[in-house]
A and B are shown apart, each in its own frame.
Chain A
Amino acid sequence: MSLLIERRELLDRFKRGERRALEEVYRHYAPDVAAFLQRGFTFASAGRQLHFRGYDQPFDLDNALQETFLRAFKESARIAYDGLHPYKSYLWAIARNLVLDEFRNREVAMSPFIEGLDAGGGAEPAQREGEEAAPSAAVGDAPSAGVSAEQEFLRNELGRLYASFVARLDDRDRTFFRHRFEEQQTQVEAGTACGLSHMQARTLEKKLRRAFLEFMQTNGYLEAYAAAATAAKAT
């Protein structure tokens, strides 16, 4: 059931733009919108059946997610939501319009994300420029083709480094690391599992985060990109 349909008082506060209401709505829907932007959808443009593959790079995804909610939380968009149809569909329609706007404005830049489909591939019409997202818009959610070989390589490299980092930790730190980071427990819970006070857990977490970053830097995961960044600055 949709959050804003079930809770009318939240809907009222959301429409007024109250911070706490916006926070609650964002936290409830952000993972869904991120998943939608990541897996892509089908659409039609100028008679062509096209498929948006979805954003697989973190910056593209984070940027689109932020922009979607910036659009969705604007006063005009909050007021335009009818409170009858699922808000998730409304958000997906806004996300979809965002991608289509990008496609219209920067077709070349967006080309890596777009692929053609065979005729009759189940595509749906793209909305017209300037048209508000319809609350009840049906949105295709076919899974994308998956990550590229380069992405796969990168993820494997990261996985290997991660395992190597964890293996180097002593027993207490490894236990804390697993509880705190892998199982996403609170600092207090993870600290308790290792016999640490909250303050000690906090200090240990900070130390582990710093060590993780240094490990990634010294093992080449970030090295090439530091050099690239320096070169980019020099040019």
Chain B
Amino acid sequence: MWAIARTELKKTVQDKGLWFWTFVLPVVFIVAFVAIFSGDESTSYKEVVTQIIPGYTIMFAFFIMISMVIVFVKDRERGMVSRIASTPISIYQYFFGKWVPFIIIVLIQITVLFGFGVVVYDLPLGDPFALILLSLALAFIVTGWGMAMAVIVKTENMGIALTQILALGGALLGGLWMPVEFMPEIVRNLSQVLPQYWALQGYKEIILSGGNVTDVWFHILFLILAGIAGIALALFSYPRFLRQARS
């Protein structure tokens, strides 16, 4: 299990595309959008940075699903899934080994982007314990959904397309680009079922309102339950995934 995690992490570190999507592009987006919205006199600077930095961090955290889809589909198509299935390790060990590196990457991504916010934009962090728990829950749900997506999709392109819909659609409807208060009622209602909404509201509660764990427990629970649903779906779909695997 740890050997799979170690191998995956080594491969991932060498992937320049992942570095670009995970760190470079989000920083570019944050810089650009903070510059654009800082000129708006109706919104305070603090409100701008506490909306944009967590918002884009959440949105780009969802893009880890693309990397997960690519890794799983490649493994399936070149016979690695079958080969690993012929060894004594269980499917739980296989999934855990594949999952660990991605959750580490997302946690590093959140740390880097928030750190960038603190250093460059003086972003307040609020209660560190609540912030860490919420970030862990965010990393859990994006990787859990990533695992489900990776096992379900038939091709890389299908996975990339669905991830874009989930990440960008969720960002729009979940209020990551613009606070949901400015949106029509139907969108406000729809956003309540999106993990992006609960993640952002949680971060705002901690950063902007000085909330602690008791104030964001529901947000964390929602993300964890959604993540568990993703992992359960991945485990349920594994036999079909294995049947499709080359050997």
Q: Do A and B come from one complex?
A: no
